[in-house]
Amino acid sequence: MGIYDFSVKARDGSEVPLSDYKGKVLLIVNTATGCGFTPQYEDLQKIYDEFRDRGLEILDFPCNQFKEQAPGSDEEIHQFCKGRFGITFPQFSKIDVLGENASPLFRYLSENTEFEGFSGTKALLLGPIVKSMDKDYKNNGNVKWNFTKFLIGRGGEIIGRFEPTADMKKVRAAVEKAL
């Protein structure tokens, strides 16, 4: 099973096969509108603007599993992101990334990557919160929080994972290298 074997649900409820993105570099992100990392939408849009013409697609999946930081309907979330950050990359229907109802795509991404560790000052705050939810969080690939990013190469292979605390300059550099 590979990345192109999955389909995801668009905001309008239609199914979108990821095979539609064959040959593109993908940055797949679980997001939230009320999170301390929500300003990363601005950085993501800048990366998209810079590299879209070279074959980058950013796939945005809102998720309300982490302290209910993505309330609202798919359309309300989209309007917020479009109005506040001017996002133009594809935004899909809200999903779960953990547990029994986890999206098969995110289950696959989690099972095929390792937790990279938190960095920077926000690591001091985020670590204890995540540990309260998953005592063994350092030893599994589960998504830990909003704005975890998975970089997919043009052939559909997972080539990188970035935790929410990763420097966005590092994400940008990895995207550019993948292109």
- pLDDT tens, position by position, 46-101: 999 999 999 999 999 999 888 776 778 888 888 888 888 899 999 999 999 998 99
pLDDT at 69: 67
pLDDT bracket for residue 26 (50, 70, 90): very high
Please report how many Cα atoms fall inside a 13 Å half-sphere around the Cα of residue 79, on the Cβ side. Answer: 6
Of the candidates 18, 28, 35, 166, the residue annotated as catalytic is 35
pLDDT value at 41 more than 90: yes
Domain extent, residue 126, equals: 3-178
Cα torsion 73, 79, 84, 86: sign: positive
Q: How many domains does the chain have?
A: 1
pLDDT tens digits for range 114-125: 998 888 888 888
pLDDT at position 153 over 70? yes
pLDDT, the chain, mean: 91
Assign residue 128 the CATH number of its domain: 3.40.30.10
Question: How do the residues of the chain divide into helix, strand and coil, expressed in percent and rounded to 5?
Answer: 40, 20, 45
Catalytic status, residue 63: no
Using alpha carbons, select from 158, 138, 179 the residue that is nearest to residue 28. 158
Q: Mind listing the pLDDT tens digit for each residue in 164-175?
A: 999 999 999 999
